[in-house]
Structure 1
């Protein structure tokens, strides 16, 4: 679902830009969003149980999370230097306060047992967040394709989708893995492959790139996306299997999408900060973004290693 969505987005955006009607892409999103909202409301109304008591929304945690994402976004347009450092520190501080609040609140954004000592779920969520952050580079790859590779908007959009093509194709093969050892291996190798791919992508950036180099960028992005796709489904299963309690398992599954949304909001703003730090040089902007998100992916690999240490050696999750 996420891979296909990230595949269609850049390609469709490139098509609208090629036609000179880029605002139409946002209009289309509004229409599609309204249709999906109506369909979702209709579908959920049939599943709702009138006798079920739903916990209150974790308003304070949600406000803190929104403020953190907003701070990262605002930092991307602040003057470089102390303002940028201050904005980043403020965003990180708000994320820390969010975690402290969420772990003690009666109603939480993430499942309560995420914060229990010795539970592997927190490390699984952190790895999923790092993998999701890697996909956020797609927002800027078409720009670099146009500015550094001389691509027309439509082709630049397809270049941006290369990462998601790798994600989608590798996931189709990865879900068929049966061996517990293989599943554990891809959970560790996936984030590492993403980190190495983005590192190589940044190192190969140059002005007025030849066609063969642009194709090499696409191949590297494909491999980077394969790192996401090979490991993502197995982290999802590991999250859902992190508890024997059926109700808590459902909460853990719901937390996967929550983690992705949080990561998407924060990582896209962080990537924008890195791009702006490199300005006015487009090459530096591309490298800063690639290296910065590669570092995030490397942290995800470390979190993956820790989560595997908390798993039983012969366990498939």
Structure 2
């Protein structure tokens, strides 16, 4: 491991500057789209219906992103960096067009799935290219820069979504992504090479594991559509069986989603992946925050979008703060992160259900909770990701790079499915309205707080890893 300190100027000057813009721009586009969709979704369901499918907008988007992430290494090898970004951007553009024209929620979900496939490719390409174009000592800052695009997105996405929602033209919000995507494609075409240096051939695609992973997430989502607890439990039961099958297949297969040994409980990678996944699951209640803020706290779509984006602000702030830390600072960041997320979720569980009508004695703690959740994740995030690459054997570097997005996206999809189940079961649709939203908020954030609580023990193990 190269422990030599690095500086931001090294990453953002000369040839590295162009590469940084190209890599971070893909994540920015992906993240801006997420915040646009999150902000305008309450307006979408008012116009075309589908409140019971609210969480599916995130679930299907992320499931498709997982598939895109899994295809990244093969696409890079066959099409080269320039071609891979072209395919990813083209899919993203088609999905945005479909969303802007969708007459009902099922067709909206089709568009979101195509968007997710392209977005997953853009997201994974950025992380896969880091180790190709930057020295190892620049990896933590490159990770922080790319992840920091969520902070940029939280300034732009809610503004685009909120303005169009308040003008009652939410379709134009998706349409605005089309020229942005075209401009980004021109940038990557001019900056990235047509082909990369010769690398080992990408292995076979772990099709069985991917199908099992997708099926497990969809099983929970399908069960959540019913108000009957037996169907919710059935969905969870089917998902548990599928996950057990996936783990068994992954442990004995030569074609894997994760680096070898990652699923062994004593493996350093197991602790790292577990910490990452639990932190992400803890934040997935974010998809309902704009809805709660508008219905329970009287906020406009624009302001609700910006308040919901406080998670991203906290995440970005913490990453920029901690990216240059070494030694004991890294260990404190990794362990302190889940604690911050836990405190933030407790604040949301207590104050979100209180219909305050804009009272800042209620909104203040909500804002603090949202910020703490993001801050807690971002505090140790660049170091968790860097340690995944450092712990993985040299021959597993490709799998390690792609696994970062696979784990993050799977945790997001699983968390969104669970969040949808909790919210629907708690009363989001029945009784619905203010009473249902209050009940859903209380149960949603209360149950999700278990995730960072469990993450603390794994974070302690992750922080103790020595190289």
TM over 0.5: yes
Range that drifts further, 145-154 or 254-263: 254-263
**Inter-partner Cα distance in structure 2 for 1:103 and 1:38:** 42
Q: Aligned runs of 1:29-178 on 2, under 5 Å?
A: 43=192, 45-47=194-196, 49=198, 52-116=200-264, 118-178=266-326
Flag the 1:177–1:53 CA change in 2: closer, same or farther, 3 A. closer
Q: How far apart are 1:223 and its partner, in Å?
A: 1.7
Flag the structure with more relative contact order, 1 or 2, with Cα contacts below 8 A and sequence separation at least 6: 1
- The equivalent residue for 2:149 is 4
Q: Specify which of 399, 402, 408 is matched with residue 260 of structure 1.
A: 408
**Inter-partner Cα distance in structure 2 for 1:34 and 1:70:** 32
Range that drifts further, 187-196 or 109-118: 109-118
1:18 aligns with 2:166: yes
- The equivalent residue for 2:370 is 221
Paired residue secondary structure (1:46):
coil
Q: Specify which of 191, 197, 216 is matched with residue 338 of structure 2.
A: 191
Flag the 1:52–1:237 CA change in 2: closer, same or farther, 3 A. closer
Answer whether contact 2:224 2:424 (CA < 8 A) is retained: yes
**TM-score, structure 1 as length reference:** 0.87
Q: Specify which of 296, 319, 328 is matched with residue 181 of structure 1.
A: 328
Answer whether contact 1:168 1:229 (CA < 8 A) is retained: yes
- The equivalent residue for 1:297 is 452
Q: How far apart are 1:194 and its partner, in Å?
A: 0.3
Alignment: residue pair count: 309
Q: How far apart are 1:24 and its partner, in Å?
A: 3.3
1:234-269 CA-partner distances (Å, limit 9, x unpaired): 1112211214x3232443232111111111111111
**Inter-partner Cα distance in structure 1 for 2:211 and 2:184:** 25
Unaligned residue ranges in structure 2 (runs of 5+): 1-145
Flag the 1:296–1:62 CA change in 2: closer, same or farther, 3 A. same
Q: How far apart are 1:20 and its partner, in Å?
A: 1.5
Flag the 1:308–1:13 CA change in 2: closer, same or farther, 3 A. same
1:205-256 CA-partner distances (Å, limit 9, x unpaired): 201341332133112211221111111111112211214x323244323211
